[in-house]
């Protein structure tokens, strides 16, 4: 029988999830003055984590480029309540987990100068956040998932609240309470599912994901449960009426916090829909589809229009996130193989391009301590390298063919058109608007005459800043020209989720909750 520590030492998901948390313990003993050492240490830890991630990927990526489900040995955690420690990675969680691991060192490089105080705490928060995010992505037990979901909150709360801008406290508390409000209702839904399972399973508890999938609820119950899950995830994404925390959080967060927030944390919301809300409650998904599609469309257009009128670069990028994630949500709600592949890819794309944009805004802020468009103009002549990367990331975000954004948006739109029809047409308008507001940003900062004398003396990107940006751009091109490399690993997992969803829809409605027998392959896993 393997123990937790055996898992921790092997090439496992456990190591991937807990290495950052363990790595942040020595940080507590760094002397207060040794900021430099703390920086280097955190960066090295995050690079080791990246190496672990690649090692895991190498061990489990199939020869044909697919990524089959791989999981750690399941350990009993709270056996009295059937709660187990169960981590698994499949084609849905793999790209997002890898994105998260990949972004952390980049964020640390990007925050090298911007973070002026308490570097130990910053590094520790970053590493704890990594653990929380990876845990939530990989948990295959609903209790475990909930724990990691909440664990993410505290480091992010600290990142915004300690290292943020002027209204940081307001933003941090708002972020925390919004997220918590949703997740507490999800907790009740999880409890309800656990009890139903127990009642139907002869008194034996379980919160395992696969066991929960076997539960069939009557439609009216599904709707309530779906509502609880969907609210949690919709707040996190954020979808239209629940989005107000996001601009506040983004504007007040330090650069590193914004990149992590946009790059990974928001994806947890869309991931939640894809992993939990939709597969667990297929009939409720169908009921709620028109409403949610409507909200996604409003999000796309509203986000774009509001972004257009912003006078602050960071706010513009923040609102563009709402629009972009509206696309992702639209693709997910289309419930179509092509749209799902596009959505999953677009989650990664958004992490790369918006991450790059936030980094660039932060770099400009480090130099001029302002983010207002009115303070800039004509920067292309002063800082050509900066201009290059800003244009590059903008074009990727706009969806220029041969860059990553295009592939994702194209797949989403074509899949949505196939299954939903006109919403895809409306969403296309969002693509046009994205070009308008993003090019406005480029125009106002880079082109035109230099209006402010202070801007003449700006220094161009340093080697460190290049080291943060170049990897992002490499992936933008790579995904743009060879998308199949990135789509292939996700295909099988999305396909089986979709098949299960369609099978569940085809089943007749039940009048009271029932439990389907475990599938044969699952029994063999239990016996393992």
Partner 1 sequence: MSRADLMSLLPEMILSGAGIVILLLDATAPKLRRAFTGLSVITVVAAVWGAWRAWSQFPGDSLLTWGGLLETSGVTYALSLVILLATGLCLLASQGYLRRENILSGEYHALLLWCATGLLLMLRGTELLTIFLSLELFSFCLYSLAAYHRRLAIASEAAIKYFLMGAFVSSFVLYGLALVYGATGSTRLAEIGAKLAAGGSMTAGASLGLLLLVAGFGFKMSIVPFHAWSPDTYQGAPSPFVAFLSVAPKVASALVLYRLLEAVVQVPTAVHKWRVVVAALAVMSMLVGNLLALAQRDIKRMLAYSGIAHMGYLLLALVVLDRASLMPVIVYLLAYVLMNAGAFTVVSMLYSRPGEQHLITDLSGYGYRYPLLGACLAVCMLSLGGIPPTVGFLGKYLVFLNAVGDGLVGLAVLGVLASLVGVFYYLRVVYVLYMKAEERQPEGLLLDVWGRTAAVVAALGTLALGIWPTGLLQWLLEATTAK
Interface ranges with partner 1 (CB under 8 A): 76-81, 118, 121, 143, 146-147, 150-151, 153-154, 157-158, 161-162, 168-169, 172-173, 176-177, 180-181, 184-185, 187-188, 191-192, 194-195, 198
How near is the Cβ of 231 to partner 1 at its closest, in Å? 12
Instruction: Specify whether the CB–CB gap between 425 and 477 falls below 8 A.
Output: no
> Cβ 197 to partner 1, closest distance in Å?
11
| Closest to 314 (Cα-Cα) out of 239, 271, 261, 392 | 261
CB of 429 to partner 1, least distance (A): 38
Between 121 and 405, name the residue whose CB sits nearer to partner 1: 121
Q: Rounded CA gap, 448 and 440, in Å?
A: 12
Cβ at position 150, least distance to partner 1 in Å: 5
HEC assignment per residue over 321-388: HHHHHHHHHHHHHHCCHHHHHHHHHHHHHHHHHHHHHHHHHHHHHHHHCCCEHHHCCCHHHHCHHHHH
Smallest CA-to-CA distance from 341 within 521, 92, 517 is with 92
Question: Which tokens sit at 289?
Answer: 């589809």
Give CA angle at 499 (498, 505), nearest 5°. 90
- CB closer to partner 1, 40 vs 188: 188
**CB closer to partner 1, 173 vs 477:** 173
Nearer to partner 1, 120 or 350 (CB): 120
Q: Which residues contact 339 (CB under 8 A, 6 or more apart)?
A: 330, 331, 332, 411, 412, 414, 415, 416, 418, 419
Of 144 and 493, nearer to partner 1 (C-beta) is 144
| Cβ closest to partner 1, residue 121 vs residue 483 | 121
Q: Residue 121 or residue 303: which is nearer to partner 1 going by CB?
A: 121
Indicate the residue among 77 and 388 with the shorter CB distance to partner 1: 77
* Spatial separation of the C-alpha atoms in residues 319 and 304, rounded to whole Å: 7
Residue among 188 and 432 whose Cβ is closer to partner 1: 188
CA 123 to chain centre: 20
> Minimal distance in Å, beta carbon 207 to partner 1?
10
CB of 90 to partner 1, least distance (A): 24
If the CB atoms of residues 189 and 461 are measured against partner 1, the closer one turns out to be 189
The string of DSSP codes covering 473-524 is: HHHHHHHHH-HHHHHHHHHHHHHHHHHHHHHHHHSPPPSS-EEPPPPHHHHH
Nearest to 133 by CA among 106, 105, 99: 99
Tracing tokens 């950052």 back to the chain, one arrives at 20
Q: Least distance to partner 1 from the beta carbon of 252, Å? A: 11
Rounded distance, CA 269 to CA 350, Å? 14
Ramachandran bin of 383, using left for φ above 0, alpha for ψ from -120 to 50, beta for the remaining angles:
beta
Q: How far apart (Å, rounded) are the C-alpha atoms in residues 194 and 212?
A: 8
If you search the block for the tokens 């130990």, which residue do you land on?
120
Q: Evaluate the CA torsion angle 164, 169, 171, 177 in order and state its sign.
A: positive
Q: Which of 322, 327, 294, 445 lies closest to 383, judged by CA?
A: 445
Residue 159 or 473: the one with the smaller Cβ distance to partner 1 is 159
Q: Smallest distance, Å, CB 118 to partner 1?
A: 7
How remote is the C-alpha of 80 from its chain's centroid? 33
Shortest CA distance to 386 belongs to which of 285, 486, 461?
A: 461
To the nearest whole angstrom, how small is the minimum distance from the Cβ of residue 97 to partner 1? 20
CB of 177 to partner 1, least distance (A): 6
Cβ atoms of 106 and 355 within 8 Å: the answer is yes
- Name the token pair of 392: 């590059």
Reply yes or no: is the peptide bond before residue 238 cis, omega within 30 of 0: yes
Q: Which is nearer to partner 1, 9 or 28 (by Cβ)?
A: 28
Q: How far is the CB of 147 from partner 1 (least distance, A)?
A: 4
Shortest distance, CB of residue 390 to partner 1, whole angstroms?
Answer: 32
Query: Which residue, among 307, 310, 305, 351, has the nearest Cα to 328 in the 3D structure?
Result: 351
């Amino acid at each position: 029988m393997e123990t937790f520590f055996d898992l921790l030492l092997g090439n496992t998901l456990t190591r991937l999830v807990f290495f950052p948390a363990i790595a942040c313990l020595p940080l507590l003993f760094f002397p207060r003055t040794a900021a430099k050492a703390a920086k280097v240490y955190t960066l090295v830890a995050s690079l080791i984590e990246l190496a672990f991630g690649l090692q895991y990927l190498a061990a489990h990526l199939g020869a044909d480029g697919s990524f089959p489900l791989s999981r750690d040995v399941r350990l009993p955690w709270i056996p009295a309540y059937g709660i187990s420690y169960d981590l698994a990675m499949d084609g849905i969680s793999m790209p997002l987990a890898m994105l998260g691991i990949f972004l952390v060192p980049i964020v640390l490089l990007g925050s090298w100068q911007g973070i002026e105080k308490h570097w130990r705490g910053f590094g520790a928060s970053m590493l704890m956040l990594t653990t929380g995010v990876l845990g939530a992505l990989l948990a295959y037990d609903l209790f475990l998932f909930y724990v990691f979901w909440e664990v993410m909150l505290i480091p992010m709360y600290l990142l915004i609240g300690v290292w943020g801008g002027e209204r940081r406290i307001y933003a941090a508390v708002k972020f925390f309470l919004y997220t918590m409000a949703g997740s507490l209702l999800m907790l009740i839904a999880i409890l309800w599912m656990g009890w139903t399972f127990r009642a139907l399973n002869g008194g034996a508890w379980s919160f395992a994901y696969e066991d929960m999938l076997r539960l069939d609820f009557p439609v009216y119950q599904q709707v309530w449960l779906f509502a609880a899950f969907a609210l949690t995830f919709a707040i996190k994404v954020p979808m239209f009426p629940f989005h107000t925390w996001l601009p506040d959080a983004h504007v007040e967060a330090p650069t590193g916090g914004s990149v992590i927030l946009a790059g990974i944390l928001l994806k947890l919301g869309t991931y939640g829909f894809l992993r939990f809300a939709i597969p667990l409650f297929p009939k409720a998904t169908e009921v709620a589809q028109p409403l949610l599609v409507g909200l996604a469309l409003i999000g796309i257009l509203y986000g774009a229009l509001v972004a257009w009128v912003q006078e602050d670069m960071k706010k513009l990028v923040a609102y563009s996130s709402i629009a972009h994630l509206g696309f992702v949500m639209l693709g997910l709600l289309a419930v179509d193989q092509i749209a799902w592949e596009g959505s999953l890819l677009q989650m990664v794309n958004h992490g790369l391009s918006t991450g790059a944009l936030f980094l660039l805004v932060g770099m400009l802020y480090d130099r001029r301590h302002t983010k207002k468009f009115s303070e800039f103009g004509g920067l292309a002549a002063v800082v050509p390298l900066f201009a290059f990367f800003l244009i590059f990331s903008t074009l990727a975000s706009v969806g220029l063919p041969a860059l990553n954004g295009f592939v994702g948006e194209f797949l989403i739109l074509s899949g949505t058109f196939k299954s939903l029809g006109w919403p895809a047409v409306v969403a296309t308008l969002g693509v046009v608007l994205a070009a308008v507001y993003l090019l406005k940003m480029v125009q106002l900062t880079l082109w035109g005459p230099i209006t402010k004398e202070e801007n003449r003396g700006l220094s161009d990107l340093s080697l460190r800043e290049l080291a943060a940006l170049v990897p992002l751009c490499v992936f933008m091109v790579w995904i743009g020209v060879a998308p199949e490399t990135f789509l292939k690993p996700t295909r099988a997992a999305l396909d089986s989720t979709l098949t299960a969803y369609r099978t569940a829809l085809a089943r007749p409605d039940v009048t009271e909750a029932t439990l389907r027998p475990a599938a044969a392959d699952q029994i063999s896993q239990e016996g393992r």
